[in-house]
Amino acid sequence: MGYSCKSCKKCMLKDNFNITKDKDGLVIALAGNPNTGKSTIFNALTGLNQHTGNWPGKTVLQAQGTCIIKGKKCTLVDLPGTYSLLANSIDEVVARDFLCFAKPDATIVVTDATCLERNLNLALQVLEITDKVVVCVNLMDEAERKGIKVNTDLLAAELGVPVIPTSARSKQGLDELISMVYELATGNITSNPNPIPYDQDLEEAIQELQPQIEALLKGRLNSRWVALRLIEGDEELLEGIKNYLSQEELEEDRVEEKCAQ
Amino acid sequence: MCSVNTDLSGRLETLVQEAKGKYSKEVREKIVDNIYREAENIAKRTVVKPPKKLDWDGKIDNILTSRITGYPIMLLLLGVIFWITIVGANYPSQMLFKILFWGEEKISTLFYFLGMPQWLHGFLVLGVYRCVAWVVAVMLPPMAIFFPLFTLLEDLGFLPRVAFNLDNFFRKAGAHGKQSLTMSMGFGCNAAGVIACRIIESPRERLIAILTNNFVPCNGRFPTLIVISSIFMGGALAAPYSSLVTPLVIVGIVLIGIMVTLIVSWLLSKTLLRGVPSTFTLELPPYRRPQIGQIIIRSIFDRTVFVLWRAVKVAAPAGGIIWLLANTYLGDSSLLNSLATAIDPFARGIGLDGIILTAFILGLPANEIVLPIMIMGYLAEGALLELDSLIALKTLLLDNGWTLMTALSVMLFSLLHYPCSTTLLTIKKETGSLKWTFLGAIIPLAVSVLVLFILNSISSLLLLMN
């Protein structure tokens, strides 16, 4: 039937995102604002030595490395640091498309404990796309020095996903982070992010669109998030969704055919 | 089967069309506002901040980014870094010269002992080995000192302050303020600087940033600038001040580079890439205590060794080629000589000479090898010299007719000429267009030729008047 290799998820990852995934390996994404220590965490987890710097926008290229967690090979993807996922620039599109279409098994959102409020904007946006998120509150040592206290337990309750405090430069909290990511990626723990409450009129519009979208997408993408993109008219993304759907369809057809034989 | 797929897309399309125009234009801002409100609310409940604290970051920022003190501090820091590099590189450089040229003697002895043919000795030892030795001896010490210092500034969080200070100039030039950041990245490596231009949203301003990134000297060009300036400019003042001249000259060269960046950006935004600059907020990251150990390890292994290895890889074949060119005769003159003679009149017109220009042409793959190729070229011309120090290098250059003006011209040409091939490939990749890649090479080349031509016309005019 001449299936292109684009038709399976493994090759989809390879073709679209240049990621090679092992059969039962995990793909873990690292997202976060610029200059929160994503690269430091990335290096600590992968043993790689990508250069880190006190410099917003340090990682513009998507960096990749592997690490073994509890015997499973994990591909760690260091996404470009962004302040939002609203697709204002190429790096934001790169980060958003990865979370949306590559469907990492878990995503670590690295935040800066010293200015959590600004960092939460991105965390909240990531949580709208995927629920498999561990929020890492990094730079706890620096926050402590400045007398800032973050109640990570309460934060976890507010967000509805696990929150791990770390100080990556001194390697504190990384073990906890890794095991939490593992539990979430393998499905031993499930999370249930609290949706962002929007203004009444927006909520009504979402209520109207969401069921129709859900009927179409059948859980493949977060329907509330897609509804919001429809409302704001992000046509570029909707084009991307269509491409994504056609690739998924091909894959399902093939599976169905195999079953029929 | 395909029907399912088109059906799905079709139904989604219907939804998209239905949603279109149904909601007001402000809906996007409202969504963003709502997200920010929620983030604020959550932060309020989960974060306890100390009541009133001494805001050191703010205080330091007030000084570093003030209109009065910001620029002098910036220049002073840059000057101090160059000064440390130049003074510090002197001794290890001499050591390396001694070791490497002692090695050359021993290898030569071995070659004769084994009865190797003359041409093989020439190609491998006088060509390949010598060129590599020059690259290592000239480039390694300044790099090993400059990189850690530069990384230190980066880790401290100083570079974004530089960007903040320069932001205003870039906006006046019709470019994006973030170009000051990508320009600063260019000091490390122009290819990296070009990639960094991705942080600029508007395609117009991104192209301006990409096309002008080359005007700040990268790691590969700093050592060349440092060596030439310490040979020729260092002696301009009496002993206690002479060590200050070289850093000042380099700071001057960097300033010229920034000025040219701004002028060319302005010209581009008035001609090829017309438009108004977009606004943005530049975030000043907190000052962080740098991790000294990490800095030394990273800057030595990631940068110094990486850059040196890249240079050596290019220098080895280039050294061989130069030797072959210098020793293959067509008629009475060697190929190198013919080539150099052919471009010599043009090169002289802009204050260089045939060998210098040949070195810049052959140095396209890596700017690090330009100076070593020049030396090889002069040596191959027959000047038999015991080249084991920077003083000997000065003699060699003087013997070949270099003046203070030549030195200045070479430095300016190195600063302004086309980017290395790696950077050009990166421009091709980032813009996806041959046209912009071509312009990325031709604009700097035109600028450098123009600047040198004007400079040398003025200088010969002054000479005539005297």
pLDDT, greater one: B297 or B108: B108
Query: Considering only CB atoms, which chain B residues are within 8 Å of A147?
Result: 49-50, 53
Instruction: Provide the 10 A C-beta neighbour count for residue A102.
Output: 18
Strongest mean pLDDT among A41-50, A64-73, B20-29 = A64-73
Residue A193 forms part of a structural domain: no
Phi, psi of B281 (to 5 degrees): -110, 130
Whether the CB of B47 is below 8 Å from some CB of chain A: the reply is yes
Q: Distance from B140 to chain A by nearest Cα, in Å?
A: 20
Residue A195 forms part of a structural domain: no
Residue A194 forms part of a structural domain: no
Asked if residue A168 has pLDDT above 90, the reply is no
Same domain membership, residue A104 and residue A46: yes
Asked if residue B284 has pLDDT above 80, the reply is no
Same domain membership, residue A212 and residue A113: no
Q: How confident is the model at residue A155 (pLDDT cuts 50, 70, 90)?
A: very high
Asked if residue B118 has pLDDT above 60, the reply is yes
Kindly state the average pLDDT of the residues A230-258.
73
Kindly state the average pLDDT of the residues A40-64.
62
Which pLDDT score is estimated for B383? Answer: 43
Asked whether the beta carbons of residue B1 and residue A253 sit closer than 8 angstroms, the reply is: yes
Kindly state the average pLDDT of the residues A87-96.
76
Q: How confident is the model at residue A47 (pLDDT cuts 50, 70, 90)?
A: confident
| A/B interface, count of CB pairs below 8 Å | 164
Which pLDDT score is estimated for B279? Answer: 60
Same domain membership, residue A77 and residue A170: yes
Cβ-based burial of B345 (10 A; exposed 0-12, middle 13-18, buried ≥19): exposed
Kindly state the percentage of chain A with pLDDT values over 70.
79
Q: Looking at the DSSP assignment, which residues form a beta bridge with residue A73? A: A68
Query: Considering only CB atoms, which chain B residues are within 8 Å of A121?
Result: 35-36, 39
Structure tokens at B385: 């010299």
User: What would the pLDDT profile of B310-357 be if each residue is shown by its tens digit?
Assistant: 778 888 888 888 888 888 888 878 888 888 889 999 999 898 999 899
Same domain membership, residue A152 and residue A256: no
Residue A156 forms part of a structural domain: yes
Domain count, chain A: 2
Question: How is chain B split into domains, by residue range?
Answer: 72-465
SS3 B253: helix
Among the three residues A160, A185, A210, which one is the final residue of a domain in this structure?
A185
Note the ipTM here. Answer: 0.85
Q: Distance from A100 to chain B by nearest Cα, in Å?
A: 17
Asked if residue A206 has pLDDT above 80, the reply is yes
Nearest-angstrom CA–CA distance, B95 and B21: 74
Which pLDDT score is estimated for A181? Answer: 93
Residue carrying structure tokens 């007030």 = B62
Asked whether the beta carbons of residue B302 and residue A49 sit closer than 8 angstroms, the reply is: yes
Asked if residue A108 has pLDDT above 80, the reply is yes
Whether the CB of B156 is below 8 Å from some CB of chain A: the reply is yes
Query: Considering only CB atoms, which chain B residues are within 8 Å of A199?
Result: 30, 34
Asked whether the beta carbons of residue B286 and residue A124 sit closer than 8 angstroms, the reply is: no
Asked if residue B454 has pLDDT above 90, the reply is yes
SS3 A26: strand
Q: Distance from B57 to chain A by nearest Cα, in Å?
A: 11
Which pLDDT score is estimated for B238? Answer: 56
Which pLDDT score is estimated for B278? Answer: 64
Which of A40-49, B19-28, B158-167, B457-466 is the least confident region? B19-28
Asked if residue A4 has pLDDT above 50, the reply is no
User: What would the pLDDT profile of B227-256 be if each residue is shown by its tens digit?
Assistant: 888 888 766 555 566 677 888 888 899 999
Asked if residue A53 has pLDDT above 60, the reply is no
Q: What is the largest CA-CA distance in chain A?
A: 66
Query: Considering only CB atoms, which chain B residues are within 8 Å of A230?
Result: 15-16, 19
Asked whether the beta carbons of residue A249 and residue B5 sit closer than 8 angstroms, the reply is: yes
Asked whether the beta carbons of residue B154 and residue A89 sit closer than 8 angstroms, the reply is: no
Query: Considering only CB atoms, which chain B residues are within 8 Å of A228?
Result: 31
Kindly state the average pLDDT of the residues A116-132.
91
Which pLDDT score is estimated for A9? Answer: 53
Separation in Å, CA B425 to CA A232, B395, B416: 38, 38, 18
Kindly state the average pLDDT of the residues A189-213.
90
- Among A residues 137-166, those touching chain B with beta carbons less than 8 Å apart: 142, 146-152, 154-155, 158-159
Among the three residues A152, A185, A218, which one is the final residue of a domain in this structure?
A185
Q: How confident is the model at residue B276 (pLDDT cuts 50, 70, 90)?
A: low
Average pLDDT over all residues of chain A: 80
Q: Please say whether the dihedral angle defined by the alpha carbons of residues B30, B34, B36 and B40, taken in this order, is positive or negative.
A: positive
Kindly state the average pLDDT of the residues A1-27.
57
Closest by CA position to B134, among listed B354, B348, B361, B363: B363
User: Which of B45, B199, B205 is the best substitution to test chain A (most A C-beta atoms within 10 A)?
Assistant: B199
Q: How confident is the model at residue A256 (pLDDT cuts 50, 70, 90)?
A: low
Same domain membership, residue A169 and residue A251: no
Average pLDDT over all residues of chain B: 82
Which pLDDT score is estimated for A2? Answer: 37
Q: Distance from B114 to chain A by nearest Cα, in Å?
A: 44
Phi, psi of B261 (to 5 degrees): -55, -45
- The vertex-B260 CA angle with B256 and B261, nearest 5°, equals 115
* C-beta separation of B31 from A198 below 8 A: yes
Asked whether the beta carbons of residue B39 and residue A117 sit closer than 8 angstroms, the reply is: yes
Among the three residues A185, A214, A241, which one is the final residue of a domain in this structure?
A185
Separation in Å, CA A158 to CA A74, A136, A140, B200: 29, 14, 19, 34
Residue A230 forms part of a structural domain: yes
* C-beta separation of B413 from B448 below 8 A: yes
Kindly state the percentage of chain B with pLDDT values over 70.
89
Nearest to B43 among A35, A49, A120 (CB): A120
Which pLDDT score is estimated for B452? Answer: 93
Same domain membership, residue A127 and residue A205: no
Same domain membership, residue A96 and residue A35: yes
- Among B residues 250-289, those touching chain A with beta carbons less than 8 Å apart: 283, 285-288
Which pLDDT score is estimated for B267? Answer: 92
Residue A132 forms part of a structural domain: yes
Kindly state the average pLDDT of the residues B20-29.
75
Query: Considering only CB atoms, which chain A residues are within 8 Å of B285?
Result: 34-35, 54-56
* C-beta separation of A31 from A109 below 8 A: yes
Task: Supply the angle between the helices B70-113 and B239-270 in degrees, to the nearest 10.
Answer: 110
Whether the CB of B53 is below 8 Å from some CB of chain A: the reply is yes
* C-beta separation of B105 from B166 below 8 A: no
Closest by CA position to B358, among listed B395, B385, B408, B321: B321
Whether the CB of B52 is below 8 Å from some CB of chain A: the reply is no
Which pLDDT score is estimated for B175? Answer: 85
Asked whether the beta carbons of residue B285 and residue A55 sit closer than 8 angstroms, the reply is: yes
Task: List CB contacts of B228: < 8 A, sequence separation 6 or more.
Answer: B371, B407, B410, B411
Whether the CB of A57 is below 8 Å from some CB of chain B: the reply is yes
Q: Distance from A246 to chain B by nearest Cα, in Å?
A: 6
Which pLDDT score is estimated for B412? Answer: 94
Which pLDDT score is estimated for B128? Answer: 87
pLDDT, greater one: B222 or A57: B222
Same domain membership, residue A141 and residue A32: yes
Query: Considering only CB atoms, which chain A residues are within 8 Å of B154?
Result: 53-55
Query: Considering only CB atoms, which chain A residues are within 8 Å of B200?
Result: 89
Same domain membership, residue A164 and residue A228: no
Task: List CB contacts of A104: < 8 A, sequence separation 6 or more.
Answer: A27, A28, A29, A77, A98, A130, A132
- Among B residues 176-195, those touching chain A with beta carbons less than 8 Å apart: 178, 181, 195
Whether the CB of B4 is below 8 Å from some CB of chain A: the reply is yes
Same domain membership, residue A72 and residue A103: yes
Asked if residue A62 has pLDDT above 70, the reply is no
Strongest mean pLDDT among A132-136, B238-242, B358-362, B366-370 = A132-136
Find the domain containing A205 and state its range. Answer: 200-260
Q: Distance from B446 to chain A by nearest Cα, in Å?
A: 30
Whether the CB of B28 is below 8 Å from some CB of chain A: the reply is yes
User: Which of B22, B42, B181 is the best substitution to test chain A (most A C-beta atoms within 10 A)?
Assistant: B42
pLDDT, greater one: B331 or B423: B423
User: Which of B31, B156, B279, B302 is the best substitution to test chain A (most A C-beta atoms within 10 A)?
Assistant: B31
Which pLDDT score is estimated for A101? Answer: 86
pLDDT, greater one: A59 or B432: B432
Cβ-based burial of A98 (10 A; exposed 0-12, middle 13-18, buried ≥19): buried
* C-beta separation of A195 from A161 below 8 A: no
Whether the CB of B5 is below 8 Å from some CB of chain A: the reply is yes
Nearest-angstrom CA–CA distance, B72 and B67: 9
